[in-house]
Homo-oligomer: A and B are copies of this chain.
């Protein structure tokens, strides 16, 4: 296991110390229970948005804490759900009197724990809404998940709901925007290599030198099929076609195209993939009006990528373009 770490059991706590040291202008870190919260939280009269999940997907979620996106993030151990007490403490920390929105990737542990946290918060009189993110078209039910997994769309939901909250929309309206983004998004991913959870010390799964896995999850969960390596052009077709057919996307649609790196794939390759995705969409009469390219929802050092398409309308576009100021996503501020 070749990693820049100290003790495997301390990776999340130490990375949080690094986040606090690097981004004190944007956020604060609470050590116990662990959560990150935007520096000026709670913002009075603004819906507080909380997300979270297992660590190992950085910059998701902590890198998206700041003005115009998340108010707080709850990091679990690597690939393991955070606990209800983290979520409850984070909900308290961001509650500015307008209620709290939980954005939850659809994994069984995350769902159960966020549900418990919501019950506890409501018992204390905090209004809580929850939105489930389940954009992965690869598989129905999987290791860790009943139904579809939440993957790349999470970034888009967090950004757009964050902008709606910044405009001081009420809780139900912010939740509605988040649901719309999830409903209009579809994703699919693939891997060229496995990844190693620090405390496990060995790869999560094995992929031969001439193999790849199509439809993989962000914890190395099995995908649709394991097959011989293919070209970027062929991989793009295998990812984009199921996405297009599922919504379905149609000629004339305007989309945000997001090519996400899994952690170990360099940007050079992600742009080659973006070119292939753009070519397919152009051929279908689907217009890319916004783009995002880079490692935003990762699986430690896994090599691979995912594609997410979000069907845009004027409202979502305006919220996407609104200022955001977080460690990993920033513009207009």
- Residues of chain A touching chain B, judged by Cβ–Cβ distance below 8 Å, are 2-6, 11-12, 14-19, 21-23, 55-56, 58-59, 63, 78, 192-193, 209, 212, 229, 231-233, 235, 257, 259, 263-275, 278, 288, 291, 293, 295, 298, 300-301, 303-305, 325, 327, 330-333
Contact = CB atoms under 8 A, between A and B. Distances in A.
Copies of this polypeptide in the complex: 2
6 contacts: A4-B265, A4-B270, A5-B231, A5-B232, A5-B269, A21-B291
Given A15-B272, A272-B5, A23 B291 contact: yes
B333 A266 contact: no
A194 to B, nearest CB: 11
Given A267-B58, A291-B22, A333-B332, A4 B274 contact: no
Contacts of A304: 4
A241 to B, nearest CB: 17
A301 B264 contact: yes
A266 B298 contact: yes
A259 B193 CA distance: 25
A78 B267 CA distance: 13
Given A21-B275, A21-B278, A293-B22, A269 B303 contact: no
A266 B298 CA distance: 8
Given A298-B266, A301-B264, A271 B15 contact: yes
A22 B274 contact: yes
A264 B264 contact: yes
Nearest to A262: B266
